[in-house]
Structure 1
């Protein structure tokens, strides 16, 4: 079974890498895909994010890395013959955010969402937090 692990991955975190590695053990193929997110201003280019994801997945033979900047996630899944979307969740607020999308993906295209609980040691990390802390560090150095 093919699964899609979508996200902005800006930047790629240890939490993303953990979910990817665990998903690779469960599915025949995992496509990790950099998706555009209109709510986020990218710190890294799509190419930089793809390079980091390829490096993180270098030893995972059943993982491919791709990007998708136009159209819906369900369109990407339909074109790729993907029936499962993987989402990592750190807590209740992540689940509250993800559930309506999971329901809509299922209603529109029959796509299931597979929620993976974050490793407790990494659950406090988010791309937004990493970016914010990095920007604050740059201000202090500048």
Structure 2
């Protein structure tokens, strides 16, 4: 054996959801050390700064033990994985649309570094519809997000929404 098996779970985590936490808990069982890579994404407009997202992910993962690390990165995923000594990329899947995108990314990543395997984990059925983008949208319109994020993350999101202002007005019985 050549040392500990290190995995990387990358994402923007804006905000970190219960779905993310499910993948982190389950992904951590597959490796000796799981590095949560918090990144920027040029195609997304984050609600929280990189520093705020790092702090939130660290706090949410603190009870999971020392085998979890949280690191910021702004590079190609495969470069980040190599820098961490990772042999596994952990990715969560929610739906078929996720699979198509992730399958393409895994293929491109394999072309860059074929020594790193991508492992797909299906989100728990009860958590599959959760997406950070939707959590933010629901919160911006004053909807309830308590079923999608931890109580502390809910407070952070609601505080941020209150500081930037809500959109529209909730009417009727829908979200």
Q: TM > 0.5 between the two?
A: yes
In the alignment, structure 1 residue 123 sits paired with structure 2 residue 128: yes
Q: Within 1, Cα distance between the matches of 2:40 and 2:117? A: 21
Partner of 2:111: 107
Aligned counterparts, 1:1-142, within 5 A:
1-61=5-65, 62-69=67-74, 71-110=75-114, 111-137=116-142, 138-139=166-167, 140=169
Choose between structure 1 and 2 for higher RCO, CA contacts under 8 A separated by at least 6 residues.
1
**Relative to total residues, which structure has the larger strand share, 1 or 2?**
1
For 1:15-35, what per-residue CA distance to the aligned partner results, in whole angstroms no more than 9, with x for missing partners? 001100111122100000111
- For 2:76 and 2:139, locate their aligned partners in 1 and report how far apart those are by CA, in whole Å: 31
Paired residues, number: 140
Runs of 4+ off more than 6 Å: none
**In 2, Cα distance between equivalents of 1:5 and 1:118:** 14
Q: Give SS of 2:62's match.
A: coil
Gaps of 5+ in 1: none
Deviation at 1:59, TM superposition (A): 1.6
TM-score (norm 1): 0.94
**1:120 to partner: Cα distance:** 0.5
CA distance in 2, matches of 1:79, 1:122: 31
- Matches of 2:62 and 2:83 in 1, distance apart? 25
TM-score (norm 2): 0.77
Is the deviation greater in 131-140 or in 5-14? 131-140
Larger radius of gyration: 2
